[in-house]
Amino acid sequence: MRRVFTLIAVLIILVFPLSALKSSFDLGINLSYNNADEVVEESGYSGAFDLERIAIGLEMRGHISNFPPTVAGDITILDTQTMLFSGIFGAGISVDLFKYLKFGVTTGPKVSYLYKDEVKSVSNDGEVGEPDNFFDALYTGYFHHRIMLDILAGPVMSIGVAYTLPTTFSLAAGNWEDLIPRRDDFTEGQIAVCIQMKVF
């Protein structure tokens, strides 16, 4: 069963984006602010506005009709020698609104790695350990829902916002009821401003 779920993840990550090149492919950057009370290496986020909560990221989106597979990655600088890399690998659906707006929702597992002298894996609860196999990290990673609203600023550029909601669902646990966000999850999300350019 684990191999089946891993194969599905591979299809989402590899096959969908490759197919999307025949339709359209967007590449962009985002600036995000994380509301979650995460703890990494005993350094926790605190205060109403903490610079450690800010991350700059790279975002890739494909479009197959109304199905947008996405890869949204963030880099957070925790201190002068420590960086946190996080990526959400998702698929979902999008619709055009009033010609100049696009609304989309994607979902997929989140994978995080910490770099401080060497690369370490970061678990769902923030524990740092030896680096996991990437597909094992996808299999055990918590799913995150990403809600996106873009304004089409021209034929090749869009500007929008995205809100990422965490869940406690993972393919490894198979706890499908937790795929639906809880009320508390809405205050533990991450908001981002995104600028996208159409590449293909």
DSSP letter string, 123-141:
-TTS-EESPPPHHHHHHHS
Tell me what the pLDDT averaged over the chain comes to: 77
Return the top range by mean pLDDT from 39-48, 52-61, 71-80, 98-107. Answer: 98-107
CA 53 to chain CA centroid, Å, is 15
Six-digit token string for 8: 């599905």
Res 48 pLDDT > 70? no
Whether the predicted pLDDT of 20 surpasses 80:
no
Q: What is the pLDDT of residue 38?
A: 57
- Model confidence at 39: pLDDT above 80: no
Q: Going along the chain, which residue ranges are E strands?
A: 24-34, 39-40, 43-44, 54-63, 70-79, 82-97, 101-116, 118-122, 128-129, 143-152, 157-166, 190-198
CATH number at residue 174: 2.40.160.20
- Residue 137 zone, left/alpha/beta (φ > 0; ψ -120 to 50; rest): alpha
pLDDT at 132: 74
Domain count, the chain: 1
Instruction: Indicate if the pLDDT at residue 104 is higher than 80.
Output: yes
How confident is the model at residue 159, as a pLDDT?
92
Of 18-22, 69-73, 77-81, 191-195, the poorest mean pLDDT is in 18-22
- Tens digit of pLDDT for each residue in 132-189? 788 888 899 999 999 999 998 877 888 999 999 999 999 999 899 999 888 888 888 8
What global pTM score does this model have?
A: 0.77
Distance CA 133, CA 101 (A): 38
Share of the chain above pLDDT 90, in %: 14
Phi and psi, residue 138, nearest 5°: -65, -40
Least confident window among 68-72, 127-131, 154-158 = 68-72
Question: What is the span of the domain harbouring residue 81?
Answer: 2-198
- 62: confidence class by pLDDT, cuts 50, 70, 90: confident
Which carries the bigger pLDDT value, residue 21 or residue 74? 74
Average pLDDT score over residue span 120-135: 82
More confident: 137 or 83? 137
